[in-house]
A and B are shown apart, each in its own frame.
Chain A
Amino acid sequence: MSTWMDIAALDDIPPRGARVIKTRMGCVALFRTHDDQIFALDDACPHKKGPLSDGIVHGHAVTCPLHNWVIDLETGQAQGNERGQVNTYRARVEQGRVLLDISRLAARSAA
């Protein structure tokens, strides 16, 4: 089941940039890539919890600002030789609005 919530306008997030939203499960980063897709991931690198939302966004990946781990935005997997995984959430853009599927955020908090 999905619960889509309207979060903000696409233009509130800079291209090749990110903004965070606060949730009970911690901060979730919304990334806007060069092709105007939106990806939602926990805002914490699996390495040392660096704020991914402050990293450089390139292609469909972000580089953590602390130690340059590269995280795949589509899967949440650390790339290269690193091992690690970030939670991802479903997000989409509809008519210039960013929608986030908050069902997992709610489910996790209920559990």
Chain B
Amino acid sequence: MARRLVIIGAGMASGRLLEELFDRQPGAWDVTLFGAEPRGNYNRIMLSPVLAGEKQFDEIVTHDAQWYQAHGVTTRFGEPVVRIDRHARRVISPGGVTEYDKLIIATGSASFFIPVPGKDLPGVIGFRDYDDVQTMLDAARRPGGNAVIIGGGLLGLEAAAALNAQGMKVTVLHLMGHLMERQLDEAAGYLLQKELENRGINVICNAHTKAILGHDKVDAVLLEDGRVIDADLVVMAAGIRPETRLAIDAGLHVERGINVDDRMQTSDPNIYALGECVEHDATVYGLVAPLYDMARVLAQVLTGQDAAFVPPAVSTKLKVTGVDLFSAGDFADGDGREDIVFRDPARGIYKRLVLQNNRIIGAVMYGDTADSSWFFAKLKSGEDISAIRDSLIFGPAYQGGAPADPLAAVAALPPEAEICGCNGICKGAITSAIENGAHDLAAVRATTRASASCGSCSGLVEQLLALTLGEDFETPTEAPVCGCTDLGHDDIRRLVRARGLKSIPAIMQELGWKTSCGCHVCRPALNYYLICEYPLEYRDDAQSRFVNERNHANIQKDGTFSVMPRMWGGMTTPDELRAIADAAEKYDVPAVKVTGGQRIDLLGVRREDLPAIWADLNRAGLVSGHAYAKGLRTVKTCVGTDFCRFGTQDSTGLGIRLEKILWGSWTPHKVKLAVSGCPRNCAEATCKDIGIICVDSGYEVSVAGAAGMELKETEPLAKVATEDEVIALTCAFVQLYRENARYLDRPHKWVARVGMDWVRGQVVDDADQRAALIERFEISQSVYRKDPWAAQAEPDMRREKWAPLADLTLEAAE
């Protein structure tokens, strides 16, 4: 029979403990989980983003009701345990008496309220749980509200930045001389204070709070020096106090926290404790990494294994959007310690390493933390750095023999991060398969199905193999995108998805870019990946576009541009032709050319004339042909049944329908289509990216042809009976290509890599998948199916921006 395990406290430590326990020995324990909050385990450290409005509470819930049910956990949320009866081995709560074989105390900590008059007034709160967040959000909803944060540490500053973002006027009172003095030295504290002040946050250091003023609610805070600061809300963030009351009442050994040994056992052999409520070796912990270590140790102990908690080196990152700050280890000045400092005042960057006996013992970074994991790894390993001391501060990119750790990005992923999107396989499942003997890519595919479908996550799976197996595995990595990163296209796309990275700076920061803002190779690729991944949220970055896509025209060798309006399905009218002719004359267009894509190109238009010629063409009903775009180009057609005596279907009409649905879409490379009305194939459909040949019984859809530097015939995708089916297949294929191909791979290259069978499986055989692809394509097209030429009212497109900024031809001659 399962033994009874009672846990008091449903915080991050106990949540992780339960996972570790069930992974090791499912069903061995009959678990009852008490929590004082009326909700289950959630990621408490993400409360700051919730407060800032950057995340919803649902997004930070780590275990939901289903999870508890699936693992047979009896949950008693909103029910505080009031007493532990150690002799009878039971706990007493409002709901009655619960007996245990083993008890775990994980009551966490409470905010420390500084002992000043007025600290119990309504409106004075801590910042520990979701209720506190709701109270703060309520206060922020009232316009013009003042918030005072007492304590300029990690938690206080996160609260300050979040409340500031929510529109409150925020003052931070900090007792010490500079902010976050436990994690930062003076210089970094200064940069941080400057940044917060730039955001409108008032920061007062050396601030001694004398009293909190108010009658029935808080009105203001009084400082020792007599200053009075208005306050509708006071947040106590001056520290935390381990929640030890139950343990003290039960007669357990408690000093600052509940004393535990290396196995997390309290002075009672049937009672364990972990998390922020414990004291181990005279230390109390408030960061999450050691808590997770405790959870693992305790899970091992409970399953009868030997384990001991070893205090880990810890690092800190401030979760304030736009502030890059990292701190780890010991950075106080001292005998025998040396500093290496790098500053770039213009960019607001400060980096400092503290060395002792040629080892890194402390690191502080502000403004640029891309290399922090590399430094932190060196700090933890205690590696002798004397050989690379001279260039150490510049990070891994400058170390001759030691390239940046390409595994860092994958290592940073949480176990639940999805690696294989096709089969929904997360990192944890793959890692455990590797640990259980799947020692190469094929074996991982066979056991987990990860990377067994489209294969685009193969690189990540290989990195997980390398990470898990260490030197026993040789990584055959995809070539990096460019010199700015060690990651390949596929890896970047997967990581953008898995980590929810939504901007180019976020990708560069999180994936450890080696350059400040990328280069002409990686920036357009990242911009495309973000457009594809987040069509509704992401805002196209014009400065990350190649010239043609930025100027909506094709640059020519002399710096002029070509202008090509769309001719739907290659059809035009006398009016359109007249408008084109008029424009050609009006703007002195040196060359007018009929193209292979069945439209007319105006070559040699001056840059400053572009907005005007577009406006003229727009007036005649013409729109951009995107002849410059990595996107849909043309749909070439023949005249089909309308005029041709051999035509079997309305190829022209179908071509126009396709073009009207697909136009404006951005793709990894250009996409060209053709529809031929009969197998004589006058539209040359069999060398296009997507080609449709009409036959008596319907339509033959084929894909992945090429007629550029390479020549390749299309491969059959499917034969269908109706135009609607052609359109469904085409949209699904284009979306699959958009979501999976590497930037600048034409469809035929991509299909060669993932295999026609897989493409057919997704687009033709799997009706649900096809519908989902079409739906996502439509969502994207709701944003991008529009004419860039007509957007001249937008600030980026205003006419004067195309003209010279100034004309100095006279002044310069004087």
The prevalent SS among residues of B at the interface is: mixed
A-B contact pairs, 14 of them (CB 8 A): A5-B811, A14-B542, A16-B543, A19-B801, A20-B805, A21-B806, A37-B346, A48-B557, A54-B559, A56-B519, A59-B515, A63-B520, A102-B812, A106-B812
Per the bound structure, the CA–CA distance linking A105 and B808 in Å amounts to 10
Chain A residues with CB below 8 A from B346, complex form: 35, 37
Which of these, B347, B519, B796, B808, contacts A58 with CB under 8 Å? B519
Contact at B547–A58, with CB atoms within 8 Å?
A: no
Chain A nearest Cβ from B453, distance in angstroms: 35
Chain A residues with CB below 8 A from B524, complex form: 56
Which of these, B517, B518, B523, B808, contacts A102 with CB under 8 Å? B808
Number of chain A residues whose Cβ lies closer than 8 Å to a Cβ of chain B? 42
Q: Which residue in chain B gives the minimum CB-CB distance to A65?
A: B547
Contact mask B782-814 → A, CB, 8 Å, 1/0? 000000000000001000010011111101111
Interface residues of A in 1-46 (CB under 8 A from B): 5, 7-8, 12-17, 19-25, 27, 30, 34-35, 37
**Interface hub of B347, B559, B809 (most chain A Cβ within 10 A):** B559
Interface residue range, chain B: 35 or more
**Further contacts, 7 of them, CB under 8 A, given A7-B805, A66-B557, A109-B812:** A20-B804, A21-B804, A22-B809, A56-B543, A58-B515, A70-B519, A102-B811
Chain B nearest Cβ from A107, distance in angstroms: 10
Q: Which residue in chain B gives the minimum CB-CB distance to A21?
A: B806
Contact mask B606-632 → A, CB, 8 Å, 1/0? 010000000000000000000000000
- Given contacts A19-B805, A57-B543, whether A106 and B813 have CB atoms under 8 Å apart is yes
Contact at A66–B555, with CB atoms within 8 Å?
A: yes
Per the bound structure, the CA–CA distance linking A13 and B524 in Å amounts to 20
Q: Is B516 an interface residue (CB 8 A)?
A: yes
Contact at A58–B518, with CB atoms within 8 Å?
A: yes
Q: Which residue in chain B gives the minimum CB-CB distance to A62?
A: B520
Chain B residues with CB below 8 A from A70, complex form: 519-520
Contact at A58–B520, with CB atoms within 8 Å?
A: yes
Q: Is A68 an interface residue (CB 8 A)?
A: yes
Per the bound structure, the CA–CA distance linking A49 and B560 in Å amounts to 12
Contact at A58–B559, with CB atoms within 8 Å?
A: no
Contact at B547–A23, with CB atoms within 8 Å?
A: no
Q: Is B503 an interface residue (CB 8 A)?
A: no
- Given contacts A34-B516, A56-B543, A59-B516, whether A21 and B555 have CB atoms under 8 Å apart is no
Per the bound structure, the CA–CA distance linking A65 and B347 in Å amounts to 28
Contact at A49–B806, with CB atoms within 8 Å?
A: no
Chain A residues with CB below 8 A from B519, complex form: 56, 58-59, 61, 63, 70
Q: Which residue in chain A gives the minimum CB-CB distance to B348?
A: A35
Contact at B805–A30, with CB atoms within 8 Å?
A: yes
Per the bound structure, the CA–CA distance linking A15 and B529 in Å amounts to 21
Q: Which residue in chain A gives the minimum CB-CB distance to B346?
A: A35
Contact at A23–B523, with CB atoms within 8 Å?
A: no
Per the bound structure, the CA–CA distance linking A67 and B543 in Å amounts to 18
Chain A nearest Cβ from B782, distance in angstroms: 27
Which of these, B551, B555, B813, contacts A24 with CB under 8 Å? B813
